[in-house]
Structures are given as structure tokens and as C-alpha cells.
Structure 1
Amino acid sequence: MPIDPVLALFSDRFFFAAVAVYTLAILLHAAEYVAARESSRVPALVGAGDADEAAATEPAGRSGSERFGRMAVSVTVLGVLLHVASIVLRGLATERWPLGNMYEFTAAICLAAVVTWLVVLRRSPSLRPAGVFVLPPIWILMFLGGTVLYAQAAPVVPALQSYWLAIHVTTVTIASGLLVVAGVASLLYLLANSGKAAELVAKLPTTAALDRLAYRVTVVAFPIYTFAVIAGAIWAEAAWGRFWGWDPKETVAFVAWVIYAAYLHARATAGWRTTRAAWINSLGLAVVVFNLFFINMVVAGLHSYAGIG
């Protein structure tokens, strides 16, 4: 199968352009967060006789915060467009589904996470201040994907030349991207609820809003992840003659599934539905990341030949 070097080159360039644009988006979110914090300090720093001046200054501060926030979202949308172009061009360059190695898999997970975040903001704009905490983990994954995990455009090994690649790996990718956003929301909930770093989390959405965000995104991700595990088992039977063999990748994927099932159960159980549930969801994120990197790159198994789900 021939590789188009021009399309592959432009795919790489679009990828790094997306990383650069996401960097700008993070900086704009940071400016939004700082402006919001500064505007909230004004009343505390002025005397009673300066009330009129404070009233005039605070709306200006909010206006600056709002402007930075809107710019950050617009820039993030531009980053998504570049990100999509990168993945599409990789697929066209290789004439296959562009999820054949760790670089492509990580890039797709990050795209799913950013799109999830934009959908969340579309439905709940008040959550936008959390963007300064949600986007950096995604940026780190993209940076690792473009450096440590980068792979030249090439055909996939025969074992991956199956329509199940598009079905199984795509659903794993979408679910993983959703779970990254949900996990970060739970971590922010725990940080805000702990009472520590009060200055840092002062302008975050309320803990109730963060808890709802984590729960609602996980509710969407869990059935997708469940389908991905089932699809993987069907593909395993077709490729290796068995549905389940307790391969390290399969085992950790099942552990993650159990953890997220426990999280959803905890959210419906009195005494567990807030802080304890958030800890469970955070553990689920840790297992997903562990499965993505350590199991794919360190532990030998049937999935080692491509480093994908």
C-alpha cells in the first residue's frame, strides 16, 4: 500500500499547528481566570468611600475576563479544525483508518476530549473557567503523542487490517476522550472540596457543577466503553480464536470498566454520591491513562505489536 509523503507531511504540520493553537487557548483561559480573580478582589481592597470606584472597576474586570474566555473558546475551535485535518490527512496518506499506532490513537483521544469539552461549554457556558485546568492534560497527551509516541505514516500490520479496527478502536477512542474530561472534573471537584489551594480554585465553577459534569459525561462514556470492550472481544475471537484471554490490555480494560460501573453505582448510593464517588472516578481516569501508556508500551502482550486498544 503506497504512502503519500506530501499528505503525511501536511498531516504532521496540522498536528503541531493544533498543539500551538491549543497552547494559545490555554494562555487565554489563564488570562480569563486571572482577570476574574483580580476583579473579585477589588471590593476587598477599597474602602467604603471608594464604593463608586469599585463598582465601576468590577464590571470592567468581568468584561475583560469574558473577552478572554470567549477568545479562548474560539481559538479552541480553530485548534479542533486543525486537529481534524491532521487526522483526516493521515488517513488519506496511508489509505487506511488513521488509528493504527500509539501516535494516531493518542491524537484521536485528545480530539475526542477537546470536542467533548466544547460540547459541554455549548450546553453549560458557566463551566468555561474550568478550561484552564481541562485543556492542559490534553495538551500534555498531545505533546507526548507528537514527540515520544510519534510514528511515521505507514501501513498497519496484517492483524490490524480489519473493519474491526474502525469499530473497536474508534469507540475506545471516543470513550477515552470523554472519560478524560470526566476524570479532570472529578479531580477539580476533590481539589475544590478539600478546602486547600483556595486561592487557586476560587473562580472555578461550584463543586456541584463539577460533580454534575463528571457524572453526565461518564454516563455518556460508559455505554460507549462497554460496546468497545464487547467489540474488542468479538475481534479477538476472529483474530486469535478466543473472545477473552486475560491479555494485560484486556485485563486492565476490564478493571477500568468495573471501576466506572462502581462509580455510577456510587452516584446512586446515599453516602457515596459525592466525594467518595469522585475518588472512584479519579481512580478510573488513572487506570485509563495507565492502560494507554504503561500497558501499551511496557508490558508485553497480544496488543504490543501496535500499541493500540
Structure 2
Amino acid sequence: MPIDPVLSLFSDRFYMGAVAVYVLAMLLHAAEYVAARDSAKADVKAAALVGAGGETGSEPPVAAVDEPTEPAAPAGRPRSERFGRMAVSLTVLGVLLHLTAIVLRGLAAQRWPLGNMYEFTAAICLAAMVTWLVVLRRSPSLRRAGVFVLTPVLILMFLGGTVLYAQAAPVVPALQSYWLVIHVTTVTLASGLFLVAGVASLLYLLSRTGKAAGLVEKLPSTASLDRLAYRVTAVAFPIYTFAVIAGAIWAEAAWGRFWGWDPKETVAFVAWVVYAAYLHARATAGWRTTRAAWINALGFAVVVFNLFFINMVVAGLHSYAGLPS
């Protein structure tokens, strides 16, 4: 099938635009975080001065009886709140640009846009950002973690647009199947969800261990982060389970066996076991907090390992990275 170079070019431009907007959103989230920290430190200092008698020794001036008093000015939103709202607005814009880039990529190649590592990485990042917006819609108090969610997304998108980039082209014959839509799409969606859950667990561990206290002091509560990681993983796990089953069915249709312990199949199964262990740990006394968070972080590490190392380094039946030579 012919490739449309104009649509492919516009797809690349929208992708770069999404990256630029996400960078601005991350900077605003960082400004929100710093402003919240500074405001908290100023409040603590003011409270200490009042407690030491710094403000109690003088009487406020008394207005004359006939002197009109000025009405109090309405309090505006704090700087951190303004920065945070602007960051979320830019994130929404970035998601729209990101989605447009993926749709145009599919139209340019006249196929489902999940045929190589560049497209797969872009779709995972989109799934993560949509997940994050849904989380913010339900729990706006988690917004201060936005800078930590956007950071790995931007790293992945930078790698996707540089090292992993591939021109729009038809997929190899082995991928010309409706199972590409079913299997790879569900893997992508689950991976994006796991990214958000993994970041939440890592932030939870940083907060609980007390390490990097200055970095995480204005994060949402550890209970909120733990709840976020659990709920997102609980949604992602059945999707990932379906993806593994769909992959086995596709393997039987393509290669005549459901399972062959190919490196990607093996690591995908290891990731499934780790996430199953996490959900079990969350229901087990003595494991449901810090130990479970470590298991969830390990699961995210296995997913990243499977995405990059297995696809790019290890040779196997799933070696369809589409990397430029």
C-alpha cells in the first residue's frame, strides 16, 4: 500500500508539538511544586514568629469612628494553584496533539499505527497521559505528582522521536493480522496504565523511606499514592491478562503453538506473575504497604525491560522493533 508522505510529515510535526507542550506542562508542574514548598515554608516561618511573640507586641491601629473602612479584597488563588491549573490545561492540549499524531500516522501508512517501536512507545505514552488526566478528574489533589509522571513520559517520547524513530511504512507480513489490533493495543493500554502505577509506587516508597525528603515533602499523602497505584494496577492487570491470552492465540495461528518460551513471551509472563503477586500482597496482612509497593515497582521495571531490552537486543520471534539501520 502506498505511503502518504504529507500525512506522515504532519504526524511527525504533531508529535514534536506534543513533546513541546508536555515540556511546558512539566515546567509548570515543577513551578507549582516549588511554589507550594515555598508557601509551606513561609507559613511555618510565620507561625514560628507568632509563637515567639514577634507579632503580638503591637496593637493594630484603631480606625476613627467616622472613618470609612475599606472592604477586604477577595483572596486570589495561590501561585501554586494557578501553575497547576495551567499545567493541566497544557497537558490536555498535549494529549490532543499526541492523539492527532498517532491518527495521522495510521492514515499515512494505511494501517493500525502500532507496527514498530516508535509507534508503540508513542501509544504507551498517550495511554499514560490519558490515564493521568482521568486520575486528575477523579482526584485533583494528586496534581502535584504531575511533574513526576510527565518526566518518564517525556524521556520515552524523546527516545521515540530520536533513537526509535522509523519512517511510516507497511508492516512485515507476520504483523498483517487483525490480532495486531487486539493484542498490541491491549498491551499498549496496560503498559501505559502500569507506567502511572509504577510512578505512584516509587513516589510512595520515597515518601515512606524518608529519602530525598526535600524532593517529596509536598507530594500527596502516602495513602493517596498507595491507593492510586493499587487502583490503576487493578484496572491494568485484567487488560494485560487479556493481552497475554490474545498473544497466545495469535501465536497459535501464526506459528502453530500457543506458547514457545520465546524471550518476549517469557518476560511478559514474568511481568504478569509479578503484578499478580502485587495484587495478592495488597490483600495480605504485613505486605499491603511498603512490600507491595516494592513488588509493583519491580513489575514496572520488568515491563520497561521487556519493552526495550527484549525488543532491541535479544533476537526472537518477536523481533519487530522497526529500528532504523
Whether these two folds match at TM > 0.5 is: yes
Q: For 1:14-163, what aligned pairs fall within 5 Å after superposition?
A: 14-46=14-46, 47-48=49-50, 49-50=54-55, 63-163=78-178
Amino acid at match of 1:33: Y
Find the counterpart in structure 2 of residue 195 from structure 1.
Answer: 210
TM-score when normalising by structure 2 = 0.91
Change (3 A) 1:198 1:247: same
Partner of 2:13, secondary structure, is: helix
Distance 1:256 1:3 in 2: 36
Find the counterpart in structure 1 of residue 233 from structure 2.
Answer: 218
Unaligned runs of 5+ in 1: none
Aligned sequence identity (%): 83
Change (3 A) 1:290 1:83: same
- Check conservation: 1:91, 1:98, Cα contact below 8 A: yes
Q: Does 2:242 align with 1:232?
A: no
Deviations 1:150-184 (A, max 9, x none): 00000001111000000000000000000000000
- Check conservation: 1:297, 1:307, Cα contact below 8 A: no
Find the counterpart in structure 1 of residue 182 from structure 2.
Answer: 167
Greater helix share, structure number: 1
Distance 1:267 1:106 in 2: 29
Partner of 2:123, secondary structure, is: helix
- Check conservation: 1:32, 1:68, Cα contact below 8 A: yes
Deviations 1:62-85 (A, max 9, x none): 611100000000000000000000
TM-score when normalising by structure 1 = 0.95
Partner of 1:97, secondary structure, is: coil
- Check conservation: 2:267, 2:302, Cα contact below 8 A: yes
Distance 2:37 2:247 in 1: 47
- Check conservation: 2:22, 2:91, Cα contact below 8 A: yes
Cα drift, residue 50 of structure 1: 4.4
Cα drift, residue 196 of structure 1: 1.6
Q: Tell which structure's C-alpha radius of gyration is larger.
A: 2
Amino acid at match of 1:298: V
Deviations 1:172-212 (A, max 9, x none): 00000000000000000000000122111111000000000
Distance 2:41 2:261 in 1: 56
Distance 1:305 1:94 in 2: 16
Amino acid at match of 1:113: A
Q: Does 2:6 align with 1:6?
A: yes
Deviations 1:16-37 (A, max 9, x none): 1000000000000000001100
Change (3 A) 1:218 1:307: farther
Cα drift, residue 307 of structure 1: 5.9
The answer to which of 198-207 and 280-289 deviates more is 198-207
Distance 2:213 2:164 in 1: 36
Runs of 4+ residues deviating >4 angstroms: none
Find the counterpart in structure 1 of residue 287 from structure 2.
Answer: 272
Deviations 1:61-108 (A, max 9, x none): x61110000000000000000000000000000100000000000000
Amino acid at match of 1:290: F
The answer to which of 196-205 and 22-31 deviates more is 196-205
Q: For 1:227-306, what aligned pairs fall within 5 Å after superposition?
A: 227-306=242-321
Find the counterpart in structure 1 of residue 68 from structure 2.
Answer: none
Report the RMSD for the aligned CA atoms in angstroms: 1.6
- Check conservation: 2:275, 2:299, Cα contact below 8 A: yes
